[in-house]
Amino acid sequence: MIRFPAGLLAVALLFTGCAAVQPTTIEPAAPTNYELTAVSPAPAVPAPAATTTTPLADAPSAVLDPNRADVWRTRERLALEDEIARTDLWVRVRTGFATPDLDDEVVRKWEQYYAGKPDYVARMMDRGGRYLFHIVEEVSARGMPMELALLPFIESAFNPQAMSSARAAGMWQFIPSTGRDFDLKQNLFRDDRRDVIASTRAALDYLKMLHGMFGDWHHALAAYNWGQGSVQRALKRNQAAGLPTNYEALRMPAETRNYVPKLQAIKNIVMRPGSFGLTLPPLENHPFFLAVPIERDLDVTLAARLAGLSLDEFQQFNPQMNKPVILAAGTPQVLLPYENANRFLRALGEHRGPLATWTAWVAPRTLKVADAAKLVGTTESQLREINRIPPRMLVNAGSTLLVPRSAQTLHDVALHLADNASMSLAPEAPKLRRVSFKAGKKGDSVAAVAKRYGVPAADVARWNEVGMQARFKAGTAIVVMVPNQKKKTRVAAGGGSSMVHKPTTRAAKSPR
C-alpha cells in the first residue's frame, strides 16, 4: 500500500480511477495561497501479481445457485479483476485498446527489435511511467483508443526533451509550424512543445482532427507522421489505380511504412510482455505528479531546491523552460512529484530573499552587446552567455534579453513579454577603410563607382557630397569606404604566383 503525506491523501483518493482531472486544494504545513492540482501517475510500487490475469467468462447469474461455493469463487475472482483494473494502470491501458491490429512481417521485425533491447525498453517504460497516467486520463476523457497513449514510446521514447534533426521537439515531436497551429507557444522563455500537459493536449487534438479527416486510425497515425496532405495524395493514387487504400497498401516513405507497425509492436509487448522476455514496471492507476501554481517569477534552480529535487529531476517534469527563470505570467504552474509538492509549498512559504535573480529587458534601440550590458548593469560576457549571442552581432531594437534582476525591481515580467518575447540580431557593420582615387578621362558616374566597388550608390553620393545622379569630371578625387581586406599570402605554384586568402578555421558555435 502507498502511504501519502496527510495533505495529499485526499487528492490520491479523489483521483483514483476518475476520468476528469479536477483542481484540488491541499492544506500545506506553512500558510500559503497556493493550490495543488493532481494531473498525472503516482510513484511506481509493486503491482498485484495478477496483472496479466485473463478475464473469466461471465456466466449468467440466473442459472447459478448463489449459495454454491463455485459461484462465490467466481464472484470473488471477478471482484479481484475489477480491483486490479482500477488500480493497475497497465490493465487499464490494455482494456482500452480499440484500433484494428496489424499482423505482418514488419510488426514481427519491430517486436524482435524491442525484445532484443531489454535495457532500452526498461528505461523507456520507466521514463514513460511518470507521464502515462496523465495521457491515459486525457485519452479516456476523449473516448479515443488507448493505443494513442503509447505513441510517445515510438515518437521520442517518452523523452520530453527530445529534439529531432527536423526540429521536432518534445514527447509528441511537434515541428515548429504544427506546434503553432495547435497553440503551443515557442518563444524566448519557453517551448510548449516540450510541456507535458500542453503537448499532450495538442497531440490528441491533432490526432482527433486527423481521424475526423480520414475516418481510419491507421491513416490518421500515418498522417501524424507524414502529414495529412501526403496521406491524401497516397490515397488518391491508389483510388485512381484501382488499388486497395488500407494502410499496408499505400506507397509511403520508409519511416511512415514502419510507423504503425512500431506502435503495434509496443502494443503487443504491453499486452503480453512475458512472450517477449520483457517485464513492465508496475504502475498504479493514479497521478504521479501534481500541478503547483506559480504566482511570482522564480529561478529554476531555486524552484528545484525548494522542492528537494536535483535540477535534472525538476527539468524532467518541467522541460519547457528555455531560460533559468520561470515567468509566472507565461508559466502559471510547475509539475512536481507527489512527495515533493508539499515540501515545495512549505519551503516557498518559509523562503526569505529574492525569488528571481533574472528578468526580461527590451532593447530601446539597436545596440552593441557591450553597450547593452552597460545599460543593464552586467558584463558583456555574461550577457552574451545567458542570451547565447554570437560574436560580432548587434542586438536589434525591440529585442528581449534576459538580464540580472536588481533588488529594486518589484514587478514581475508582464504577460505580453512572457508570451511573445523574441530576440533579433544583426551582423555588426564591417570596419571600413578609406579609398581615394581620381575619375578617369571620361569621368565616372556615381552609379558606376558604386557598381565597381560593390557598395550602395547612396553611400557613394553621401561620401562625396553629391547627388545620386551626379557624374564626376575627369581628374576629380573620389572617396569610397570599403571593408578591410583579409591579409593575403603569396603562394608559388608551378613557377608562377597568385594572390590567395589565407584560410582560417573557426569552431562552429552551438545554436543553443
CA dist., res. 189 & res. 194, Å (int): 12
Exactly one of 111, 137, 155, 284 is catalytic; name it. 155
Of 431, 427, 430, 364, the closest CA to residue 391 belongs to: 427
Phi/psi of residue 253, nearest 5 degrees:
-65, 160
Burial profile 492-510: b = 16 or more Cβ within 10 angstroms, e = fewer: eeeeeeeeeeeeeeeeeee
CATH topology of domain 88-276: Lysozyme (1.10.530)
Q: Enumerate the β-bridge partners of residue 483.
A: 432
With both helix axes pointing from N to C terminus, report the angle between 196-214 and 132-141 in degrees, rounded to the nearest 10.
40
- Known catalytic membership, residue 155: yes
Over its length of 512 residues, how does the chain's per-residue pLDDT go in tens digits? Answer: 333 343 443 333 333 333 333 333 333 334 344 456 555 444 443 333 333 333 333 333 334 454 555 545 555 655 655 566 578 999 999 999 999 999 999 999 999 999 999 999 999 999 999 999 999 999 999 999 999 999 999 999 999 999 998 899 999 999 999 999 999 999 999 999 999 999 999 999 999 999 999 999 999 999 999 999 999 999 999 999 999 999 999 999 999 999 999 999 999 999 999 999 999 999 999 999 999 999 999 999 999 999 999 999 999 999 999 999 999 999 999 999 988 999 999 999 999 999 999 999 999 999 999 999 999 999 999 999 999 999 989 999 999 999 999 988 889 999 999 999 999 999 887 778 899 999 988 889 999 999 999 888 999 999 999 998 999 998 899 999 888 765 444 333 333 333 333 333 333 333 33
- At 431 the pLDDT is 78
CA dist., res. 488 & res. 506, Å (int): 18
User: Where does residue 470 fall: left (phi above 0), alpha (psi -120 to 50 degrees), or beta otherwise?
Assistant: beta
Other CB atoms within 10 A of residue 291 CB: 25
Domain limits, the chain: 6-43+285-350, 88-276, 358-427, 432-501
Q: What is this structure's pTM?
A: 0.73
Phi/psi of residue 424, nearest 5 degrees:
-120, 130
Strands 393-395 and 36-40, bridge-based pairing? unpaired
Q: Which three cell numbers stand for residue 66?
A: 448463489
Rounded to the nearest angstrom, the gap between the alpha carbon of residue 221 and the centroid of all alpha carbons in its chain is 20
